[in-house]
């Protein structure tokens, strides 16, 4: 069991570059990275066992995604209204997008990692280009789940 967070784990994912590297996002506002031994876990993991910890969100981290082409880079989306991009090796935030308008529901990188998309509870879609340090696009993604009757 991974017991290294003070809150529940909200999202997790293995690195696309290292099969034994696991990232976790937590309700305590942190992200952690763990090296899972080749033989698997033989005991519970605690805070002292994490290999990297990223702090900077002020509320629950709902989503995390490894960058598809940049090793040791993670994007996270939080209920604090921000998307952050992290340099895992230096445990540092390298990009902060503070314009999410509601709770993030989904987030993903494009295939080459040049842009990041997020969709929120308020049905707004944000396309972020970290190279521009700003939003590339923000739009309403859909009207709603109820269909109109003709």
CATH assignment at residue 95: 2.130.10.10
How many domains is the chain partitioned into structurally? 1
Tell me the per-residue pLDDT of 6-54, one tens digit each, with 9 for 90 and over. Answer: 889 999 999 999 999 999 999 999 999 999 888 877 777 766 778 999 9
Cα–Cα distance for residue pair 134/130, rounded to 1 Å? 7
CA distance 114 to 126: 14
Domain with 29 in it:
9-140
For the stretch 68-112, pLDDT in tens is: 999 999 999 999 999 999 999 999 999 998 888 788 889 999 999
Residue 131 covered by a domain: yes
Which backbone phi and psi does 31 adopt, to 5 degrees?
-120, 145
* 43-79 residue pLDDT tens: 777 667 789 999 999 999 999 999 999 999 999 999 9
Express as a percent the part of the chain with pLDDT over 90.
55
Could you tell me if residue 4 is inside a domain?
no
Alpha helices in 1-150 (DSSP H): none
Can you say whether the dihedral through the CA atoms of 130, 133, 136, 140 is positive or negative?
positive
149 inside domain? no
Taking every pair of C-alpha atoms in the chain, what is the biggest distance, in angstroms? 60
pLDDT at 116: 93
Alpha-carbon gap, residue 112 to 115, rounded angstroms: 8
The whole-angstrom separation of Cα 100 and Cα 135 is 10
What pLDDT is stored for residue 149 in this prediction? 47
CA atoms within 13 A on the CB side of 39: 2
């Amino acid at each position: 069991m991974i017991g290294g967070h003070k809150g529940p784990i909200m999202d997790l994912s293995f690195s696309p570059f290292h099969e034994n590297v696991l990232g976790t996002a937590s309700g305590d506002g942190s992200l952690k990275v763990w090296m899972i031994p080749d033989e698997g876990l033989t005991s519970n993991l605690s805070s002292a066992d994490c290999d990297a910890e990223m702090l900077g969100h002020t509320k629950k981290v709902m989503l995390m995604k490894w960058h598809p082409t940049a090793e040791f880079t993670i994007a996270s989306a939080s209920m604090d209204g921000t998307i952050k991009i992290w340099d895992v090796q230096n445990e540092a935030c390298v990009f902060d997008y503070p314009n999410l308008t509601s709770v993030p529901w989904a987030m993903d990188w494009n295939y080459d990692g040049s842009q990041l998309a997020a969709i929120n509870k308020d049905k707004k879609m944000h396309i972020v280009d970290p190279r521009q340090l700003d939003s590339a696009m923000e739009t309403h993604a859909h009207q709603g789940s109820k269909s109109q009757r003709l």
